[in-house]
A and B are shown apart, each in its own frame.
Chain A
Amino acid sequence: MAVLATLEPTSRAAARGWSDLTIRNLFILPTIAFLIIFNIFPLLYSLGFSFTEYRVSMNKPAEFVGFRNYAELLADPGIWANFTTTAQYVIVSVGGQMIVGFGLALLLNRPFPFKGLVTTLLMLPMMLSPAVVGLFWKLLYDPSWGPINYALGIGKFEWLTSRTNALFAVAITDIWMWSPFVMLLSLAGLSAIPKHLYEAAAIDRASAWYTFRRITLPLVAPLLLIALIFRTMEAFKAFDLPFIMSTASVETVAISLYQMAFQGWDTGRASALAYIVLIVVLCITNIYVKYLNKVKER
C-alpha cells in the first residue's frame, strides 16, 4: 500500500502523465530486481551447495550431505586458526587506524597554511587500489634492499615471511591506507563541536585533559564509533592486502575461503564457509546501519 509523499493521488497534477505509483515502481523495482538476480539468487544457489559434497573440477553431480560441511568446518582447527589470525589482524589494524587517524585529526584540527591541500594529500592512500598498494609495500619491505629496513637501520629484517612479523607488516600497510578514513570522520566530528563549550571550559579553568575527556571525546564518539564498526567489518573481510603481500603467513578467513573455492575446488565446503562469513558480515552491517541512521538523525 503506497502513501504518496507530495501529492494527493486524486489531484490534477498527479493525474497527468504516469501516476506517481507507476513512476515509483519503475524507478525502484529494476534496481531491486537487478540486485536479487545478481546477488541474492547466487547466494541462494550457494546455500544449496553448502549442504552438498561438490567439486566444480569434477564431473560428479552434487551429493546431499546435510550439515556435514558446517560440522566439519566448525570442528576444523585450521579454520579456527584462520579466524584467530583474522581477529588478531582486525585488532592490530583497526586499533592502529583509530589511534593514528584520531591523532592526525587532532593535529589537523587547527588553522595552518595549505590546510585543504595537506588534508587531501593525506586522504590519497585510502583511494588507491589495495592490490597495487600491497605490491609496492612489498618493495618497501624488501629485506635486502628495501628503504624501510634501511631507514630504520635494522639490517635484513624479514617483514613478510614469519607469521607474527607479517601480520604486523600487513597491518601497518592497512593502517597507512585507512587511518585517513578515521581522520576524515574525526575531523568532521571535531569541527562540529561548538566553540562556546571550549570557551566555557576555559573560564572554569578546566585542564586540557579534562576538556578533552569531557568535551572533545564524547562529542566525536559517535563518528569514531562509525569509523570503528566500518573498519572492523572491512578488516574482517581482508583479502587483497594480505593475499598480495603474504598469502602463506597471514591467512585470513577470506584467503582460506578463496583457496578452498578456487584452488582446492572444494565448492560444497567453501559455500558453507562462505555462509559462516556472510552471517558475521551481515550482523556487523546491521549494527553499522543502525549507528549510521542514528548519526544521520541528529
Chain B
Amino acid sequence: MAAVTSRSQQFTRPLAIVAVIVVTLVFLSPIYWIASTAFKPRNQATSVPPTVVFTPEVTPFIKLFTKRVQLKEKVDPAVYEAAPWWEKAVYDGGERVLKVGDEPQLSQYPNRFWNSLIISVVSTVLAVSMGTITAYGFSRFRMKGEADLLFFILSTRMLPPVVVAIPMFLMYRSFELTDTHIGLIILYTAFNLSFSVWLMKGFIDEIPKEYEEAALVDGYTRMQAFFKIVLPEAATGIAATAVFCFITAWNEYAFALIMTNRRAQTAPPFIPSQIGSGLPEWTVIAAGTVLFLLPVAIFTFLLRNHLLRGVTFGAIRK
C-alpha cells in the first residue's frame, strides 16, 4: 500500500513543483515591483508599458533623504563638476539639493524613521518585560477567575484602534500627550501587552515546573528561581515575542495617524502622506517603502519557526 501513495505522489510531483514556482512568483511579484521601482530612473517608474529591464540607480534613495527644489536654469558646469556624486545624481534629475552652509538639508524621512524605531523599541521592551512576568504569574500560580482574566487581557488586544483612539485622544489632549513619543509608546505597550502575556504564557507553560522546584529545594527563593532558571529557559520565547511586538508597533497605522502629525509621527502615516502634494514621485516613495519594509522582512526570516504560534497568540504550537 505504501507503493500506492508514493506512485500517486510521483505522478503529481513535476506538476506540483511547477505550480509551487508559479504561485510563489505571483505572490512575490508585488513586493518585487515596489522594490524594483525604488531603483528605477524617474521616467521609467510610470512608463507604459511598464519597465521591467532597466539600469538600477540609487538616486531615489538620495532624494529620499534630502530636501530638494526644482532647478530654474541649467547648473553652472563648474559647480556641477565640483559636486559629489550623490549631488550630481540629483542635478541630473533637474533638481538641486537644499543646503545650510555646506551641509545638505535632510528630508523628513530620516526623522520619521527614527520616530518609528524609538517608539517601537521602547514599547516592545515595556510590553515584553511586563508580559513575561505576568505570563509567569499565570503559568505557575492558580488564581480565582483566571480564565476570565486571561480573556479580559486578550480582549483588549482585539479592540479596534479607532474605538480606543476616541477617548484616548480626549485624554491625551488634556494631558498634552498628543503628538509625543511617550503617548504612542503607551498606546503600543497597551496594545502589545496582552499579546505578550498570551504568547509568553505558552512558552513558559512548556518549561517543566520541576526545574524551579529543584532550585527551590536547593535553597533558591522563588524570585531567584525565576531570574536564574525560568528566564534563561524562556530566552527563545522572549526573543520571538519581542520581534512580534516590534513588528506590530512598527507597522501600526491608525493610532499613529490619529495621535501624531509632526514631532512624533511614525513612518506608516508619513509614507502615504507624501502622495498628497502634486505629482507623486513614485521612485522616492518606493525607496522609502523598501527601507521601511526591510527590517520586517529580515525579522520574518528569523521568526519563521514561531510564526504559527505568534499568529494564534501562543495557542497552537508545532
In the assembled complex, which residues on chain A have CB atoms less than 8 Å from the CB atom of B23? 104, 107, 122
The reply to whether A145 and B300 contact each other, CB–CB distance below 8 Å, is no
- A residues 32-57 in Cβ contact with B at 8 Å: 32, 34-35, 38-40, 42-43, 45-46, 49, 56
| Neighbour of A144 across the interface among B48, B165, B216, B250, CB < 8 A | B48
Q: Which residues of B contact A (CB under 8 A)?
A: 1-2, 4-5, 9, 12-13, 16-17, 19-20, 23-24, 27-28, 30-31, 33-34, 37, 46-50, 130-131, 133-134, 136-138, 140-144, 147, 149, 151-156, 158-171, 173, 186-187, 189-190, 193-194, 197, 209, 212-213, 216-217, 219, 221-224, 226, 247, 250-254, 258, 268-269, 271-272, 275, 282, 285-286, 289, 292-293, 296-297, 299-301, 304, 307-308, 311-313, 315-316, 318
Q: Would you call B143 and A274 a contact (CB within 8 A)? A: no
For residue B13, which residues in chain A have a CB less than 8 angstroms away from its CB?
Answer: 110, 112
User: With the chains together, A56 CA to B187 CA distance in Å?
Assistant: 21
**Contact (Cβ within 8 A) B167 A271:** yes
Interface status of A84 (Cβ within 8 A of chain B): no
A102 interface residue per 8 A CB criterion: no
Contact of A28 among B30, B138, B269, B316 (CB under 8 A): B138
Q: A132-B293, A138-B275, A199-B5 provided; 16 other pairs, C-beta below 8 A?
A: A2-B144, A23-B223, A24-B137, A35-B194, A110-B12, A113-B17, A124-B28, A124-B300, A125-B30, A128-B251, A137-B30, A139-B33, A139-B37, A147-B33, A150-B50, A285-B155
Pick from A14, A27, A104, A295 the residue with the most CB of B within 10 Å. A27
Q: Are B20 and A112 in contact (CB under 8 A)?
A: yes
Q: Do the beta carbons of B272 and A128 come within 8 Å of each other?
A: no
Contact of A30 among B130, B171, B224, B289 (CB under 8 A): B130
Using A35-B194, A262-B258 as known contacts, say yes or no to A278 and B163 having CB atoms under 8 A apart: yes
In the complex, 12 of the A-B residue pairs with CB atoms within 8 angstroms, ordered by the A residue number, are: A5-B209, A24-B143, A43-B164, A112-B16, A122-B23, A126-B311, A127-B297, A132-B289, A140-B30, A140-B33, A202-B5, A240-B254
A131 within 8 A of B: yes
Q: Is A176 an interface residue (CB 8 A)?
A: yes
Which one of B160, B272, B289, B315 contacts A281 once the chains associate, using CB atoms below 8 Å? Answer: B160
Closest residue to A27 on the B side, CB-wise?
B137
For window 108-164 of A, CB contacts with B under 8 Å fall at 108, 110, 112-113, 116, 118-132, 134-140, 142, 144-147, 150
- Would A6 and B213 be within 8 Å (CB), given that A131-B272, A244-B272 are in contact? yes
Kindly provide the distance from the CB of A151 to the nearest chain B CB, expressed in whole angstroms. 8
- Among B167, B217, B300, max chain A CB count under 10 A is at B167
A258 to B293, CA, bound (A): 26
Contact, CB under 8 Å: B253 / A124: no
Query: Which of B16, B166, B209 has the largest number of chain A CB atoms within 10 A?
Result: B166
Instruction: Tell whether, in the assembled complex, residue A28 and residue B49 are in contact, meaning their CB atoms are under 8 Å apart.
Output: no
A176→B147 CA distance, assembly (Å): 35
| A46 CA to B194 CA, complexed, in Å | 21
Any chain B CB within 8 A of the CB of A209?
A: no
Smallest distance from the beta carbon of B8 to chain A beta carbons, Å?
8
From known contacts A110-B9, A124-B300, A127-B247, infer whether A184 and B28 are also in contact, taking CB-CB under 8 Å: no
Number of A residues contacting the other chain (C-beta, 8 Å)?
A: 107
Cβ-defined contact, A282 with B160, below 8 A: no
Known contacts A112-B20, A118-B20, A139-B37: A6-B140 contact under CB 8 Å: yes
Q: Do A124 and B297 touch (CB < 8 A)?
A: yes
Which of A1, A28, A230, A237 lies in contact with B134, CB distance below 8 A? A28
The answer to the question of A89 belonging to the interface, with a C-beta cut-off of 8 Å to chain B, is: no
Give the shortest distance, in Å, between B213 (CB) and chain A (any CB): 6
Instruction: Report B218 CB to chain A, min CB distance, Å.
Output: 9
